[in-house]
C-alpha cells in the first residue's frame, strides 16, 4: 500500500513537471547583442505570453511541458524554441535575426497598417525602441531619429522646441501621412502636423515604421511622399520600471519615471509614464518647458478577446524663432551668430518673448481585438483628441527695438502713442474617430482585409488678449456679428494646462473668429495571394468628406454657416513580389490616387466663399525594389517615380513701395486696392534612387550606409491667374510660365551617409554617423544652397545589477564638428557681384534658417 502511494506521489510530481514550468531568458540582436526591449514571447498555441523588459529579460509560466515558445520583435525574424521537461529553466540568450522586410510575422494589437499586414514588400525602414531611446534625448526632435533613412530630411530644426519639419522623397508634411497606432493624426484642415504636440512620443514609442512612397497602409488616405507609423507601447506584461534623467546643452533637463504592473490575475495589466522637461533652447529666446503623461490598461475578458485603453498627452510651452535674413545674423564685430532671434527682449527687467507657442492635445484610445476563429479577426479602435492652445504675437504698435534688433518692451509700453498689446491666436479642436478592420484567411494562399475609417472634426479659430501691457483693452468694431462693437479687456494665460478650459468666449474674441466642421468616411480593402516564391496584392480605398465653414465675425448671425461642400476621393494599389533563393527579393508596386483638397483650399481666403478651383489632386506612383539579406549583409534598393498633378497654390504677392508688384516672369502689375494674389496651377514629378545597406564585419563592428539621389522638378507650363483683393473674385490677369528646370525646393535632392557601430566590450557600444546633403534649393527652387555634412556620436554603457536591474549611461553629441549651415531658405535672391553682400555664395538678404551647431546630452537611466 505504501509503495502504491509513493508511486502515485512520484507520478503526480512527474505529471506536474510535464504540465507546467517557469522559464526565463533574454532576447538580443544577433549581430550587436543589444537587448531587444518589448520583444514578445508567447507559448505556442495559446494566448499565454509576456514581453522583455529594458534589459531584454523575460520570465514566463508555461501551461504545460513539453512546449514551444514563439519569440517575435518588430524588424526581426520570428524564432520558435522547443522545450522539454529536461530543458533548463534559465535559457541562454535568444538571438534574433533582422528581417529582410523590416517587419515580419509580428502580431500588433489594433488596426495598425504596417508591412507585416502583407507579404509583398514596400520601401520601408523600421526603427525600434532601443534606437529611439538611445539617439533621441535632450532637445533633439523626435523625427530626427530617422535622419539616416534614405530620402528623409529634417529641416527648420533651430526655430524652437518641437518646430521641426519632415520631408519624405521631397514631399512636405502635408503630403506625408502620419499614423499613431494606425490612426491618422495629420490635421484635417490642412494636413499639417506640429511636432511640439507629439514630444511625448519619444518616451512611449515602441517603434517607428517609415513606408516611403506607396506604403502598405490600407486606410483611405492619400499619402504622396510616404507613411510614418508611430507604434506606441501597449500595456506591458512584464513587471518592472525605470527612472531616468537627462541633461544637455542650453540648460536642458528632463526627468522620467515609468512602471508596469505586469499581468495581474492573468487578466489585467497597467503601464504608466510621466516626464518633465525644460530648457533655454538652441536659438536665443527659445525657452521651453513641458510634460508627458502616458497611461495604458489592458484587460482580457475571454480567451479570444482583449481590450486596451490608452491616454497620453504632451502639454508644452516654447518660445519661437522665425526665419530672417542672413544679414540680420551679423553682430557689430562682423561675426555671424546663427542663433539670432528678434522675437524677444527685456520687459520690466526680465526676459520676455513676443512669440510663444503653447498646446495641449490629450489623446484617448480604446482598442478591442476579437479573434473570431482561427482564420478571421476583427479589430476596432475608438479614439478622440481635445486640442487646446495657440501662439502669441503683437497687436497694434509702434514696436520699439534696441540697436541689436531685440524688442524694447519698456520703451514700447512707455510710448503714449502706442496701442501695442499681446494677443494669442487660438486653434482649438475636438476630434473623434473610429477605425475597424476585418481580417480573413480565405485559404492557405488567399488573405482578405476589409475596413472602414470614420472621423469628425470641429475646429475653432480666434484671437484673444494675452497681455494688455498697460492698455485698457482691445476695441473690436466694424464686424457684422457685433455691430455695436465691444472692448476686450480680459487677459488669458498662454499656458497648456489652463488652455483646456480657460479661453475667451465669443463675446471676448478679437480680430477674427471662425470655425469649421469636417466629416470623413472611408472604406478600404485588400486581397493578397501568395504561393511559394510569388506574392501579389490588390488594394483599394474610397472616401467621402464634407466641409462646412462657420464665419462668426464677418457675417451676420443669420448667415454664419457656409454651404456644405462634399468631395469624394479614392486610391488603388497593386503589387507583385518574387523571391529568388532565400536571400533575394524583387518587387514592384503601382498606385493611383485622387485626393480631395484640404479644407483651407475649399474656401477662398478665410471666407465662406467656395473656391471654384478646389479640384482633386491626381497622383500616380511607380516603384521597383530589390532586397538582399544574408547573415552579414543586408541591402535595399528602390527606384521610384511619383507624378503629382492638379496642384493648386495661393501666393500673396508683396506690393512694392511704389505701389507695383513684380511678377514671377518679370512683368510689373500695378496693385489696385487690396493685396494681390497669385493662383497657381502646377504639376510636380519626383524621380529617384534609394540605397541602404548594413554590413556586419564581425561580432564587434557593424557598418551602415545609405544614399538617395532624386530629381524633383516642376513640370509642364505653370499656369497663373492674378486676382485683386482678398476675396479672389476679381481676376485681373492670366499667364503661363515655362516650368522647365524649376527644381522642387526645401529638401536636398542628393543625400548620403555612413555609420559604424563598435561594441568596444560586452556592455559598451559606440556609434558614429555622418550625413551629407547636396542640391538643396530654396523653398521655390530659385537658388541652390551650400551643401553640408554633419557628424553625430553616440555612446551607451550598461552596468548590470542584481535581479535583472541595470544602470544605463547614454551620451550623444550632434554636429560634432560644429559645422555652420543653412537648413532652409524662404527667398531666392541671386548672389551679388559684390562679395561683401554674399555669405558662402548666397546673398545676405535671403531669408533663411540656420541649422543647429554642436549640442550634446547625457542620460542616466536605472531600470528594474
Q: pLDDT tens-digit profile of 785-795?
A: 999 999 999 99
Percent of the chain's residues with pLDDT above 70: 83
Mapping DSSP to helix (H, G, I), strand (E, B) and coil, where does residue 680 land? strand
- Predicted pLDDT at 444: 87
Range scoring the smallest mean pLDDT among 215-224, 410-419, 761-770: 215-224
CB of 737 closer than 8 Å to CB of 748: no
For residue 859, what are the contacts with CB-CB under 8 A and spacing of at least 6? 137, 244, 245, 246, 808, 809, 810, 811
Percent of the chain's residues with pLDDT above 90: 45
Range scoring the smallest mean pLDDT among 79-93, 241-255, 456-470, 487-501: 79-93
Asked whether residue 45 carries a pLDDT value surpassing 70, the answer given is yes
Give the C-alpha separation, 104 to 634, whole Å. Answer: 15
Q: Is the dihedral of CA 28, 32, 33, 37 positive or negative?
A: negative
CB of 398 closer than 8 Å to CB of 412: yes
Averaged pLDDT, 737-747: 77
Q: What is the CATH number of domain 2-96?
A: 2.60.40.10
Give the C-alpha separation, 41 to 342, whole Å. Answer: 54
Mapping DSSP to helix (H, G, I), strand (E, B) and coil, where does residue 478 land? coil
Nearest partner of 219 among 453, 431, 379, judged by Cα: 453
- Predicted pLDDT at 771: 96
CATH 2.40.170.20 assigned to domain 240-863? The reply is yes
CB of 598 closer than 8 Å to CB of 189: yes
- Predicted pLDDT at 512: 94
Higher pLDDT pick, 243 / 232: 243
Mapping DSSP to helix (H, G, I), strand (E, B) and coil, where does residue 328 land? helix
Asked whether residue 421 carries a pLDDT value surpassing 90, the answer given is yes
Instruction: Please name the residue ranges forming H helices in 525-635.
Output: 599-602
Give the C-alpha separation, 837 to 557, whole Å. Answer: 54
No. of helices (H) and no. of strands (E), the chain: 5, 54
Grade residue 138 by pLDDT with cuts at 50, 70 and 90: low
Averaged pLDDT, 627-653: 82
Range scoring the smallest mean pLDDT among 25-29, 361-365, 469-473: 25-29
Asked whether residue 658 carries a pLDDT value surpassing 90, the answer given is no
Averaged pLDDT, 55-67: 82
Give the C-alpha separation, 842 to 831, whole Å. Answer: 5
* 3-state secondary structure labels for all residues of 68-115: EEEEECCCECCEEEEECCCCCCECCCEEECECCCCCCCCCCCCCCCCH
Please provide the average confidence, as pLDDT, over all residues in the chain: 84
Angle, CA of 240, 242 and 246, to the nearest 5°? 170
Q: To the nearest 5 percent, what fractions of the chain are helix, strand and coil?
A: 10, 55, 40
Give the C-alpha separation, 298 to 268, whole Å. Answer: 6
Angle, CA of 154, 158 and 163, to the nearest 5°? 65
CB of 513 closer than 8 Å to CB of 552: yes
Answering whether pTM is above 0.85, one says no
Grade residue 116 by pLDDT with cuts at 50, 70 and 90: very low
Give the C-alpha separation, 299 to 306, whole Å. Answer: 6
Grade residue 660 by pLDDT with cuts at 50, 70 and 90: low
CB of 428 closer than 8 Å to CB of 459: yes
Nearest partner of 71 among 86, 88, 90, 93, judged by Cα: 93
Higher pLDDT pick, 214 / 165: 165
Task: Give tens-digit pLDDT for 663-697.
Answer: 555 555 555 555 555 556 578 899 999 999 988 88
Pairing of strands 21-29, 94-96: parallel
Give the C-alpha separation, 602 to 613, whole Å. Answer: 8
CB of 214 closer than 8 Å to CB of 169: no
For the chain, the domains span 2-96, 240-863
Give the C-alpha separation, 386 to 500, whole Å. Answer: 8
Give the C-alpha separation, 36 to 134, whole Å. Answer: 12
CB of 688 closer than 8 Å to CB of 710: yes
- Predicted pLDDT at 845: 93
- Predicted pLDDT at 669: 57
Task: Give tens-digit pLDDT for 514-552.
Answer: 999 999 999 999 999 988 889 999 999 999 999 999 999
Asked whether residue 110 carries a pLDDT value surpassing 50, the answer given is no
Buried b (16+ CB within 10 A) or exposed e, 772-797: bbbbbbbbbbbbbbeebbbbbebbbe
Asked whether residue 382 carries a pLDDT value surpassing 70, the answer given is yes
Q: Cell match 514551444: residue? A: 68
C-alpha distances in angstroms, 851 versus 153, 155, 330, 783, 788?
A: 12, 8, 16, 18, 10
Give the C-alpha separation, 542 to 522, whole Å. Answer: 6
Q: What phi and psi, each to the nearest 5 degrees, are found at residue 506?
A: -60, -35
Nearest partner of 199 among 275, 124, 251, judged by Cα: 275
Cα within 13 Å of Cα(562), Cβ side: 25
- Rg (alpha carbons) of the chain, rounded to whole number: 29
Higher pLDDT pick, 643 / 2: 643
Averaged pLDDT, 717-725: 63
CB of 210 closer than 8 Å to CB of 228: yes
Grade residue 161 by pLDDT with cuts at 50, 70 and 90: confident
For residue 12, what are the contacts with CB-CB under 8 A and spacing of at least 6? none
Range scoring the smallest mean pLDDT among 202-211, 595-604, 833-842: 202-211
Grade residue 217 by pLDDT with cuts at 50, 70 and 90: low
Asked whether residue 662 carries a pLDDT value surpassing 80, the answer given is no
Burial class (CB in 10 A: 0-12, 13-18, 19+), 88: exposed
CB of 635 closer than 8 Å to CB of 628: yes
Is there a shared CATH topology between the 2-96 domain and the 240-863 domain? Answer: no
Give the C-alpha separation, 153 to 143, whole Å. Answer: 9
Asked whether residue 207 carries a pLDDT value surpassing 90, the answer given is no
CB of 863 closer than 8 Å to CB of 810: no
Higher pLDDT pick, 657 / 428: 428
- Predicted pLDDT at 5: 46
Range scoring the smallest mean pLDDT among 367-371, 475-479, 606-610, 755-759: 606-610
For residue 338 the three cell numbers come to 546663427
- Predicted pLDDT at 735: 66
The length of the chain, given as a count of residues: 864
Higher pLDDT pick, 631 / 627: 627
Amino acid at each position: 500500500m505504501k509503495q502504491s502511494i509513493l508511486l502515485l506521489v512520484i507520478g503526480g510530481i512527474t505529471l506536474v513537471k510535464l504540465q507546467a514550468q517557469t522559464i526565463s531568458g533574454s532576447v538580443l540582436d544577433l549581430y550587436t547583442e543589444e537587448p531587444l526591449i518589448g520583444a514578445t514571447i508567447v507559448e505556442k498555441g495559446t494566448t499565454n505570453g509576456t514581453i522583455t523588459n529594458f534589459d531584454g529579460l523575460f520570465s514566463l509560466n508555461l501551461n504545460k511541458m513539453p512546449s514551444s515558445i514563439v519569440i517575435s520583435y518588430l524588424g526581426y525574424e520570428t524564432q520558435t524554441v522547443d522545450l522539454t521537461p529536461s530543458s533548463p529553466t534559465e535559457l541562454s540568450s535568444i538571438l534574433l535575426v533582422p528581417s529582410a522586410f523590416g517587419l515580419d510575422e509580428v502580431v500588433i494589437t489594433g488596426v495598425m497598417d504596417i508591412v507585416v499586414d502583407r507579404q509583398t514588400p514596400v520601401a520601408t525602414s523600421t526603427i525600434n525602441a532601443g534606437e529611439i531611446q538611445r539617439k533621441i534625448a535632450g532637445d533633439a526632435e523626435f523625427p530626427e531619429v530617422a535622419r539616416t533613412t534614405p530620402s528623409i530630411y529634417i529641416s527648420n530644426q533651430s526655430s524652437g522646441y518641437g518646430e521641426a519639419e519632415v520631408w519624405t522623397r521631397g514631399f512636405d508634411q502635408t503630403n506625408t501621412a502620419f499614423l499613431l497606432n494606425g490612426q491618422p493624426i495629420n490635421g484635417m484642415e490642412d494636413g499639417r502636423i506640429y511636432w511640439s504636440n507629439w514630444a511625448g512620443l519619444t518616451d512611449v514609442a515602441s517603434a517607428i515604421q517609415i513606408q516611403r512612397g506607396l506604403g502598405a497602409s490600407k486606410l483611405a488616405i492619400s499619402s504622396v511622399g510616404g507613411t510614418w507609423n508611430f507604434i506606441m507601447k501597449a500595456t506591458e506584461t512584464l513587471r518592472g520600471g525605470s527612472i531616468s534623467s537627462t541633461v544637455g546643452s542650453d540648460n536642458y533637463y528632463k526627468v522620467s519615471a515609468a512602471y508596469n504592473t505586469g499581468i495581474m490575475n492573468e487578466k489585467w495589466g497597467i503601464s504608466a509614464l510621466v516626464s518633465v522637461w525644460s530648457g533655454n533652447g538652441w536659438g536665443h529666446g527659445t525657452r521651453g518647458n513641458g510634460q508627458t503623461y502616458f497611461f495604458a490598461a489592458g484587460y482580457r475578458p475571454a480567451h479570444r478577446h482583449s481590450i486596451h485603453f490608452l491616454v497620453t498627452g504632451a502639454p508644452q510651452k516654447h518660445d519661437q524663432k522665425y526665419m530672417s535674413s542672413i544679414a540680420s545674423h551679423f553682430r557689430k564685430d562682423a561675426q555671424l551668430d546663427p542663433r539670432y532671434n528678434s522675437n524677444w527682449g527685456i520687459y520690466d527687467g526680465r526676459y520676455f518673448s513676443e512669440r510663444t507657442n503653447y498646446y495641449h492635445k490629450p489623446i484617448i484610445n480604446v482598442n478591442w481585438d476579437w479573434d473570431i476563429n482561427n482564420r478571421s479577426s476583427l479589430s476596432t479602435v475608438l479614439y478622440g483628441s481635445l486640442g487646446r492652445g495657440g501662439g502669441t504675437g503683437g497687436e497694434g504698435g509702434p514696436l520699439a527695438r534696441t540697436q541689436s534688433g531685440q524688442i524694447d518692451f519698456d520703451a514700447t509700453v512707455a510710448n503714449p502713442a502706442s496701442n501695442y498689446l499681446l494677443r494669442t491666436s487660438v486653434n482649438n479642436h475636438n476630434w473623434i474617430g473610429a477605425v475597424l478592420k476585418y481580417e480573413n484567411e480565405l485559404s492557405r494562399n488567399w488573405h482578405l482585409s476589409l475596413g472602414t475609417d470614420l472621423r469628425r472634426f470641429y475646429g475653432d479659430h480666434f484671437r484673444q488678449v494675452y497681455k494688455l501691457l498697460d492698455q485698457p483693452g482691445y476695441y473690436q468694431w466694424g464686424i457684422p456679428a457685433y455691430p455695436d462693437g465691444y472692448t476686450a479687456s480680459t487677459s488669458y494665460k498662454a499656458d497648456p494646462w489652463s488652455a483646456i478650459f480657460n479661453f475667451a468666449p465669443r463675446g471676448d474674441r478679437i480680430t477674427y473668429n471662425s470655425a469649421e466642421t469636417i466629416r470623413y468616411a472611408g472604406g478600404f480593402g485588400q486581397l493578397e495571394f501568395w504561393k511559394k516564391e510569388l506574392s501579389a496584392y490588390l488594394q483599394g480605398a474610397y472616401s467621402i468628406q464634407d466641409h462646412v465653414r462657420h464665419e462668426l465675425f464677418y457675417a451676420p448671425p443669420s448667415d454664419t454657416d457656409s454651404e456644405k461642400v462634399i468631395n469624394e476621393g479614392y486610391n488603388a494599389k497593386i503589387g507583385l513580389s518574387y523571391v529568388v533563393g532565400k536571400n533575394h527579393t524583387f518587387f514592384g508596386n503601382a498606385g493611383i490616387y485622387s485626393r480631395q483638397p484640404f479644407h483651407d483650399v475649399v474656401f477662398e481666403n478665410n471666407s465662406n466663399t467656395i473656391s471654384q478651383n478646389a479640384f482633386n489632386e491626381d497622383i500616380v506612383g511607380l516603384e521597383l525594389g530589390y532586397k538582399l539579406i544574408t547573415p552579414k549583409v543586408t541591402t535595399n534598393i528602390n527606384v521610384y517615380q511619383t507624378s503629382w498633378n492638379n496642384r493648386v497654390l495661393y501666393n500673396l504677392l508683396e506690393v512694392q513701395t511704389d505701389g507695383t508688384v513684380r511678377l514671377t516672369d518679370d512683368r510689373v502689375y500695378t496693385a489696385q486696392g487690396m493685396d494681390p494674389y497669385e493662383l497657381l496651377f502646377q504639376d510636380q514629378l519626383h524621380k529617384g534612387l534609394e540605397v541602404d545597406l548594413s554590413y556586419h564585419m564581425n561580432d564587434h563592428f557593424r557598418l551602415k550606409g545609405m544614399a538617395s539621389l532624386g530629381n524633383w522638378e516642376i513640370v509642364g507650363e505653370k499656369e497663373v491667374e492674378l486676382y485683386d483683393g482678398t476675396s479672389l473674385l476679381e481676376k485681373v490677369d492670366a499667364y503661363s510660365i515655362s516650368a522647365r528646370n524649376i527644381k522642387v525646393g526645401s529638401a536636398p535632392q542628393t543625400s548620403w551617409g555612413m555609420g559604424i557601430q563598435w561594441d568596444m566590450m560586452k556592455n559598451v557600444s559606440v556609434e558614429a554617423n555622418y550625413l551629407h546633403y547636396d542640391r538643396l534649393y530654396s523653398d521655390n527652387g530659385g537658388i541652390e544652397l551650400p551643401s553640408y555634412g554633419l557628424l553625430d556620436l553616440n555612446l551607451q554603457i550598461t552596468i548590470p545589477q542584481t535581479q535583472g536591474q541595470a544602470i544605463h549611461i547614454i551620451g550623444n553629441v550632434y554636429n560634432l564638428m560644429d559645422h555652420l549651415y543653412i537648413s532652409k531658405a524662404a527667398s531666392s535672391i541671386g548672389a551679388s557681384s559684390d562679395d561683401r553682400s554674399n555669405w558662402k555664395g548666397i546673398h545676405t538678404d535671403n531669408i533663411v534658417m540656420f541649422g543647429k551647431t554642436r549640442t550634446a546630452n547625457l542620460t542616466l537611466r536605472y531600470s528594474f
